[in-house]
Structure 1
Amino acid sequence: MVKISRHHHLEENRQFSQFTLTKSRYGRILRTPLCPLRLGEYFDPELDRDDDADSTTDPGTFLEHIAGPECEESRGYNGHTVSALTVQSARTAQCLLRKPTGDEEDAQGHVAPVWSPEPDDEPWEENSSWMLSGLNSLIVEPELGPSKDWSPVRHGVREVNDYDMWFEDVPHIGMVHHPWCMEVYQRATLKQKNKVDVDGLGEWWELHQVENVKRSNGKMLRYCRQQWWEHERGSEFLITDPLEDAGLVKLLQEAVETSQHFNPADSAFPPRAPNKSTAKSNQQQNTTLDPFSTLPAELLQQILAELPNTSIGAVREVSRAFTHIPISFFYPLVRRDYPWIWEADQETSAALPQYSRWTKAVIDKAARKLNKSGDLVSREEDKIVTGQHSTASDPDSLTNAAVGNGNDEDHITPISLPRFETNWFKLYASLKKHSGSLPGLRNRERIWRDCQQIITMIDEMRARSA
């Protein structure tokens, strides 16, 4: 389980007149009358204090450590290396479980009725043998029994047994996962199989195949995933929002061209300036010696498409026939080399135009969504209003946001890049440059690669049983 400590930047919505503040190079201490947060609160008694801070506090007053850049506290991630907004929903879980058949009794003696459609069902649930549970942000160890308070109760299943593996005689047993990860899986299976295959995922889990996946970034993941989560510096991306990463959103937005003069058939590279004294002789020589100079543009692009990326620049240096490489040439390269950028895939955007209402609850909880123009809205504009004030620690805020009214406002629509108004070369170059530095994008790639393995294992599983 991931624990997120109060490692925040001081600028984050604070009225400092209400606090007594002390400083050190390892962090700061706030003496505050506010109640303690439920998520990863702690105070380091060894931290140096100034004389103006009392050694004791009044009843109802709590001390809170605000991490400095050099803070080495391992009980949470440092707010100078990762934003609390991008990780605070990492503990939100959901379960994939078989639909109730009306004959399973839980530990409390309750029998869920036979599954029937409900307004908050996902499109795939209607024809699937599987369903989703409600949400939970307080998953406990399996030895302590099933986690409590899955909310809302869906299809009459009050008690969900969340386990890492399937057991035959356990009623309403479910595969626990992040709603984030289910979104990535659906798009990966759509890309690889042209359909969303959730049934295959559930059947794969029932065959105890989870441990057979060779996880991306496996060494770091194994180190962090102990009985308690180890908050190793550099591993922050493992729990960062893979869907609405602010850096990725900005990168995608900047690739869209608004000028009416933009043409994807234009060259991605500036024209060369040949030496005037030798231009004519070079042109005659190149026409004679360059075998590519007589080929049509379509064939030249086909040749480029077969080359490794590192050779594209090299072939431009040795042959002027490849001087003009259109911007549109990089569109299939983006889809080939970065398949997890589903915003560039029109087929995926058409088949899965929205994130699920459950994912919207997770993203809204972190106050990070897009408005209709595709711009990031401020946290003040992005609060959930559900009849009562909801906070990041309020489990009911997840439920209220998820249930909604069954309309498009209950969903978040990811960016869909227009085919002929996007500078695909600019996007390709930006992805190549920043993929390792955007934590949400790194996490999306990691989950996507794991999903690819799972999909292959599902196909092999079905081939064996055919």
Structure 2
Amino acid sequence: MPSRVCRAPGEPDWAKWDYTGCQPDLDIDEIDLDYCSQNGCGVVVRYPKEENDVIRDADYVPREEDTVPYEYGSDHESMDAVSLGEDSGPNDEGDGKRAEEEDQWYRDWLLSSGNPQSLLPGEPAWTPPVHRDRRNEVIFPLTSGQLPEGYSIEQLEHLAGPTCADAHAYSGHRISMEAMRGCRTAQFLVHKEASEADWQPDGLDEDWELSGDWFLSGLSDGTGSRDTEPADVSPPRGGLDQIDADNINFDPQDMDSDSIAMPFHPWCFDIFCRLSKVRFNHVNVSGLMKWRNTEFSSDDFDAFPRNRDVLEAQQQWWCHNHGHEYLVANPLYVPNLDSLLLATVHEEEDHFSPHIGAFDLSRRVKHTEILTDQARPADFLASLPLELRLYIVGFLGSRDIANLRLASRTFEQLPVGLWYRLVRDEMPWLWEAWDETECAHVPSIWTTVTATDVQLFVKKRQHYASVLSDEYQGGNIEDYLDLLVPMPMTTPRQLILPRARTNWYQVYTQIKRNWSQLKGLQNRQRIWTDVEEIIARIIKYSYTVD
């Protein structure tokens, strides 16, 4: 199930969402006050904002969305109008026109600001600086397990503390919005001969889409349960703006498996594409779907060997277990990872060599200060030539190498290039360490945007098209639209570490030291393991006869 985040103090109001993609407001009745008082939680008191102020109130709800029956919004005639015998028609028309203008001003403001949530509920389209869009709020720490007096429950909002483990939400203290970007984004593999599908190239196609039987749908913000409406997707690729998808075929006798789309995160599909290119030298979508269709029952789905943290969270409702925030972290674009890796790269003028020693031995305590020559044990490995020593460590893992360095002074100093093998062996999912010739891969444009990004782009483009059409009647406005509203789908340049100029010992140790903060890498490792299992099953079924 899609997850939600509980915002931290100072974050904008829309930095939280529930499993439906809407902003939850009344969480205070769902929390354990005694528990929260022990974990640094607080409550926010909301003060009324300037009512109906389109400019100052970012939470103002336009009249068409307001459920409160106003006099001017109904068929009611005022007593003054009746008593004076006035015709209320023109006034109603004027009020309606002004209401439409205000609503349009409001929507225009939203489209030019950083808060599109009132138009497009779901994952926020962007992350502004924390000082933007602050709520008008006062925060009371929950120190006694009691709510502040003088406020109703409707006026209060729960703000999770640093150690709060509320199962209803991931805390903004423990994972940032940037790290979660795309966690609600879903996409689907659809067969070109599926009902109502009318696939045509649209300029956004992957090479395998042009030649294969399957294509990628537009993006969806979250996926509902099976008993809800099909997922809305944008843009409507293949002529489909709604997709029926499932992980299980409940009626295999009458339901053609190819007619059921396959749901996934664009993150996961990108990792599949990388590993597929390594193993098959192409994106093996046909093999993927053959495996899916072969293991398409409920028992097959449950039997797939998933990560234990996923199994614990994947209940009827997603359980946001404390310490498992990495499950919703973006594995492709990991905050601070590039800067961490680039710090290990040397410029050509540095005269760096992968053969230099990894360790600074100048501060070690010399054995001569502790042991006499007679007391020092003989180091039988000291007589080995350098080539043989390096050959030996080439078979050892990191822990064995550490033990060997403690056991023999001969192995105290080792070249930094040795850790390249350890990085490749122990971190196969760190494609930043791959050679450029190993896997020619550019991430799909769909990995860089969310469903909200795409919908907002479409709405902005429609808005500007309407304005420009009035100003430049009869002219071609497409070039202006491309300039004013450029496509949000741009793929960042991929970092590839130069093997000869990288201190691989630092790469290895920095990732290990910062592992708890690199939640996206943790999720990448988890997804990589799942995809390796899928690849193994694709290979298995590739030798079977249909």
Q: What is the TM-score of this pair, normalised by structure 1?
A: 0.74
Structure 1 stretches lacking a partner, 5+ long: 15-22, 106-110, 367-383, 391-399
Report the counterpart of residue 161 of structure 2 in structure 1: 68
- Seen in structure 2, the aligned counterparts of structure 1 residues 66 and 320 have a Cα distance that, compared at 3 Å, is closer
Alpha carbons 1:40, 1:76 under 8 Å: kept:
no
Report the counterpart of residue 510 of structure 2 in structure 1: 430
Report the counterpart of residue 400 of structure 2 in structure 1: 311
The superposition leaves residues 91-147 of structure 1 with CA deviations (integer Å, 9 ceiling, x where unpaired) of: 1100012223xxx53xxxxx333x443310123322332211100014211122422
The superposition leaves residues 137-188 of structure 1 with CA deviations (integer Å, 9 ceiling, x where unpaired) of: 14211122422x2111112234421111245337742110001111122222
Secondary structure at 2:46's aligned position in 1?
strand
Whether 1:251 aligns to 2:344 is: no
Report the counterpart of residue 273 of structure 2 in structure 1: 186
The superposition leaves residues 37-61 of structure 1 with CA deviations (integer Å, 9 ceiling, x where unpaired) of: 64599xxxx985545x65388xxxx
Report the counterpart of residue 152 of structure 2 in structure 1: 55
In 2: Cα distance, 1:237 partner to 1:356 partner: 22
The amino acid that maps onto 2:515 is S
Report the counterpart of residue 214 of structure 1 in structure 2: 305
Q: Alpha-carbon deviation of 1:277?
A: 9.3
Report the counterpart of residue 262 of structure 1 in structure 2: 352
Whether 1:112 aligns to 2:174 is: no
Secondary structure at 1:336's aligned position in 2?
helix
Identity value in percent: 30
Report the counterpart of residue 321 of structure 2 in structure 1: 232
- Seen in structure 2, the aligned counterparts of structure 1 residues 80 and 119 have a Cα distance that, compared at 3 Å, is same
In 1: Cα distance, 2:457 partner to 2:267 partner: 22
Alpha carbons 1:349, 1:416 under 8 Å: kept:
no
Alpha carbons 1:69, 1:80 under 8 Å: kept:
yes
- Seen in structure 2, the aligned counterparts of structure 1 residues 362 and 323 have a Cα distance that, compared at 3 Å, is same
Whether 1:31 aligns to 2:118 is: no
The superposition leaves residues 224-246 of structure 1 with CA deviations (integer Å, 9 ceiling, x where unpaired) of: 11222112212211111111221
Report the counterpart of residue 451 of structure 1 in structure 2: 531
Report the counterpart of residue 378 of structure 1 in structure 2: none
Equivalent of residue 244 in structure 2, options 161, 167, 173: 161
In 1: Cα distance, 2:151 partner to 2:274 partner: 54
Q: Alpha-carbon deviation of 1:437?
A: 4.7
Secondary structure at 1:456's aligned position in 2?
helix
The amino acid that maps onto 1:112 is A
Whether 1:140 aligns to 2:224 is: yes
Secondary structure at 1:312's aligned position in 2?
helix
The superposition leaves residues 357-391 of structure 1 with CA deviations (integer Å, 9 ceiling, x where unpaired) of: 1001139969xxxxxxxxxxxxxxxxx9888399x
Secondary structure at 1:187's aligned position in 2?
helix
The superposition leaves residues 397-443 of structure 1 with CA deviations (integer Å, 9 ceiling, x where unpaired) of: xxx99xx9799x72122321111221100111222333355321111
Secondary structure at 1:458's aligned position in 2?
helix
In 2: Cα distance, 1:27 partner to 1:132 partner: 44
Which of these two proteins has the greater Rg computed from alpha carbons?
A: 2
In 1: Cα distance, 2:312 partner to 2:521 partner: 21
The superposition leaves residues 7-56 of structure 1 with CA deviations (integer Å, 9 ceiling, x where unpaired) of: 22223358xxxxxxxx9852131415443964599xxxx985545x6538
Alpha carbons 1:28, 1:68 under 8 Å: kept:
no
- Seen in structure 2, the aligned counterparts of structure 1 residues 347 and 261 have a Cα distance that, compared at 3 Å, is closer
Q: What is the TM-score of this pair, normalised by structure 2?
A: 0.64
Structure 2 stretches lacking a partner, 5+ long: 14-35, 50-57, 62-116, 125-141, 463-480
Aligned CA-pair RMSD: 4.0
The amino acid that maps onto 2:305 is K
Q: Alpha-carbon deviation of 1:314?
A: 2.7
Alpha carbons 1:190, 1:348 under 8 Å: kept:
no
Whether 1:97 aligns to 2:202 is: no
Secondary structure at 1:163's aligned position in 2?
coil
Report the counterpart of residue 28 of structure 2 in structure 1: none
Q: Alpha-carbon deviation of 1:460?
A: 0.9
Report the counterpart of residue 80 of structure 1 in structure 2: 173
Report the counterpart of residue 289 of structure 2 in structure 1: 202
In 2: Cα distance, 1:198 partner to 1:364 partner: 27
- Seen in structure 2, the aligned counterparts of structure 1 residues 138 and 301 have a Cα distance that, compared at 3 Å, is same
In 1: Cα distance, 2:367 partner to 2:153 partner: 79
